[in-house]
């Protein structure tokens, strides 16, 4: 599905991603875990075409994404929920969610794609008519993920879906991710807290200073001394 090989990205002349390689298989949930500034957002923005890599390869189902513009990458079926949610304050919740169905046609009807987004976050049904500016941080995250889902994506990129949320709201986001998985979408999630990695994650990568220093199952990650070192301050059981 998504394959990243030896990706190098410089920002203002400094290397920010160093030879990153990672894979997301069809229907898999894959997490990239790393501290703030490790390079997660840069990885996602490069996949989405917002940043040009210095070298390396990025492909979706064998087709190279390099040189494509963000809207072309979205049209190929990559949904992106950015770290800051980027929900439109002047639009209602239902307008925010419906947006990709106006701009990105797909084999599935707009109604079907929107219905799936509400099935993932049923709470949003109650807020359909509410303005985007009148939402809590957790609700904005839900709308942002729901909007990416309404694209009808083959792959979803979710940048820190639990970042800054109160512990009370995190389970509804994790439940949403479980439903997304049950619908068969592949998902790549950036996460700064190892404890927020969903237990149903298929594969986990740890990124440190722009390098992938671990790739394996969540269980292997919990046993790895290297992962414990990087996620220090986070208790690993
Ligand atoms: N526009 C920019 N100009 C200069 N440096 C940048 C820019 N964007 C990112 N960086 C640097 O690149 C590195 C990786 O940043 P990135 O945002 O990818 O990390 P991250 O793992 O997503 O962390 P966070 O969770 O804090 O967003 C950091 O050292 C950051 O300071």
Residue 182 resides in a domain:
yes
Average pLDDT value over all residues in the chain:
91
Nearest CA, atom 6, ligand 1: 11
Tell me how far apart the alpha carbons of residues 103 and 5 are, in angstroms, rounded to a whole number. Answer: 31
- The confidence score (pLDDT) of residue 235 equals 41
Report which DSSP code applies to 197. S
Report which DSSP code applies to 134. G
Residue 78 resides in a domain:
yes
Provide the residue range defining the domain that includes 42. Answer: 2-85+155-230
Going across the sheet that includes 2-11, the strands are: 14-24, 2-11, 55-60, 63-64
Residue 118 resides in a domain:
no
Ligand 1 geometric centre to CA of 36 (Å): 8
Residue 103 resides in a domain:
no
CA of 41, closest atom in ligand 1: 22
Verify whether ligand 1 is closer than 6 Å to residue 166 (CB atom). no
Query: Whole-prediction pTM value?
Result: 0.90
- The confidence score (pLDDT) of residue 90 equals 93
Tell me how far apart the alpha carbons of residues 178 and 26 are, in angstroms, rounded to a whole number. Answer: 15
Two tokens at 47?
A: 């996949």
Residue 141 resides in a domain:
no
Residue 205 resides in a domain:
yes
> To 10 degrees, the CA torsion angle through 166, 195, 160, 180?
-100
CA angle 47, 51, 56 (to 5 degrees): 60
Two tokens at 102?
A: 């106006």
Interface confidence (ipTM) of the complex: 0.90
Residue 131 resides in a domain:
no
pLDDT tier at 68, thresholds 50, 70, 90: very high
CA of 44, closest atom in ligand 1: 18
Encode pLDDT of 102-133 as tens digits.
Answer: 888 788 888 999 999 999 999 999 999 999 99
DSSP letters spanning 22-59: EEE-TT-EEEEE--TTSSHHHHHHHHTTSS--SEEEEE
Verify whether ligand 1 is closer than 6 Å to residue 14 (CB atom). no
The rounded radius of gyration (Å) of the Cα atoms in the chain is 17
CA of 192, closest atom in ligand 1: 25
Query: What CATH number is attached to the domain comprising 160?
Result: 3.40.50.300
- Residues paired with residue 79 on neighbouring β-strands, in sequence order: 156
Which is higher by pLDDT, 231 or 193?
193
Number of domains in the chain: 1
Q: Is the pLDDT of residue 193 over 70?
A: yes
Q: Which of 29, 152, 135, 16 is nearest to 86 (CA)?
A: 135
Residue 133 resides in a domain:
no
Q: Is the pLDDT of residue 85 over 70?
A: yes
pLDDT tier at 232, thresholds 50, 70, 90: low
């Amino acid at each position: 599905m998504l394959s990243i090989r030896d990706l190098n990205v410089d920002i203002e002349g400094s290397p920010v991603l160093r030879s990153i390689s990672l894979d997301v298989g069809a229907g898999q949930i894959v997490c990239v875990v790393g501290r703030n500034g490790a390079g997660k957002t840069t990885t996602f923005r490069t996949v989405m075409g917002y940043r040009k890599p210095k070298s390396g390869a990025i492909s979706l189902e064998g087709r190279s994404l390099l040189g494509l513009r963000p809207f072309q990458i979205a049209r190929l079926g990559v949904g992106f929920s950015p770290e800051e949610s980027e929900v439109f304050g002047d639009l209602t919740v239902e307008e925010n969610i419906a947006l990709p169905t106006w701009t990105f046609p797909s084999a599935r009807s707009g109604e079907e794609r929107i219905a799936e987004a509400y099935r993932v976050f049923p709470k949003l049904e109650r807020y359909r008519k509410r303005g985007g500016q009148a939402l809590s941080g957790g609700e904005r995250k839900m709308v942002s993920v729901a909007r990416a889902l309404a694209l009808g994506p083959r792959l979803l990129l979710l940048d820190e879906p639990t970042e800054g949320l109160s512990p009370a709201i995190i389970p509804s986001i994790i439940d949403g991710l479980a439903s997304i998985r049950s619908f068969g979408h592949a998902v790549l999630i950036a996460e700064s807290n190892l404890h927020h990695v969903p237990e149903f994650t298929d594969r986990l990568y740890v990124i440190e200073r722009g390098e992938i220093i671990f790739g394996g199952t969540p269980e292997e990650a919990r046993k790895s001394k290297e992962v414990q070192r990087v996620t220090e301050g986070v208790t690993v059981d």
